[in-house]
Amino acid sequence: MPMRLLRTIAMMIALGALFIVTPVAADEPSPHQREKAPVKAKGPVRITDEELHRHGGTPPGWRFTVPDGDPKAGRAVFFKLECYSCHHVEGEKFPGSATERQTGPDLTGIGPEHPAEYLAEAILDPNAVIITEPGYTGQDGLSTMPSYADLLTLQESMDLVAYLKSLTARHRH
């Protein structure tokens, strides 16, 4: 197996291990609605091994959630990766003019628009969802966003997601 594939698989397994388990009600809202709902206290789900397997290997209503990261540290990751060279964030001071060479979407106010899990996937596996609009898709039909799965630690991934979630229309950095 190619080394890059092995590293990507290892990163996804490790990321999955860092995600926490959150029970969700049976008539759960859509991910977008869930983001706007009050945040439930995080805590462990307690279940027997037999019950776990009876429910198909996961607790009833279970889903991955991205652990809390540090938005300030995430801004440093955004800077380190030079994300500003493709993405504009209104109110931020980064080197150069992102508006002149911006190829990715404007991230101003993105925080409330997407669940943390979606943002994490966009960073680690940008071809999981391909936006079919100019500027998002290359000639090869794949996302123009590069994958950062091989470049980020798990903590950096969580921090970068926390930074993106902190970007709201009202909140200027």
Nearest to 103 by CA among 157, 148, 152, 143: 143
44 CB-near residues (< 8 Å, 6+ apart): 21
The span from the CA of 161 to the CA of 73, in Å, is 10
User: Does pLDDT of 160 surpass 60?
Assistant: yes
- CB–CB of 149/7 below 8 Å? yes
CA gap 65, 19 in Å, rounded? 6
Mean pLDDT of the chain: 78
**Which string of b and e fits 156-173 if b means at least 16 CB within 10 Å?**
bbbbbbbbbbbbeeeeee
Residue 48 has pLDDT above 60, yes or no: yes
**Helix, strand or coil for residue 158?**
helix
Helix axes 3-18 and 154-166, enclosed angle (nearest 10): 60
Between the ranges 54-63, 136-145, 146-155, where is the mean pLDDT highest? 146-155
Beta strands per DSSP E along the chain = 20-22, 63-65
Residue 82 predicted with pLDDT over 60: yes
Whole-number pLDDT of residue 137:
87
More confident residue, 22 or 64: 64
Question: Model pTM?
Answer: 0.69
Q: Could you give the CA distance from residue 19 to residue 153 in angstroms, rounded to a whole number? A: 14
Model confidence over 113-128: pLDDT tens digits? 999 999 999 999 999 9
The Cα–Cα gap between 137 and 78 comes to 22
Band (pLDDT 50/70/90 cuts) for residue 104 is confident
CB 19 within 8 A of CB 67: yes
Q: Which domains does the chain have, with CATH numbers?
A: 67-173 (1.10.760.10)
Q: What are the pLDDT digits (tens) for 27-47? A: 444 444 444 433 445 678 899
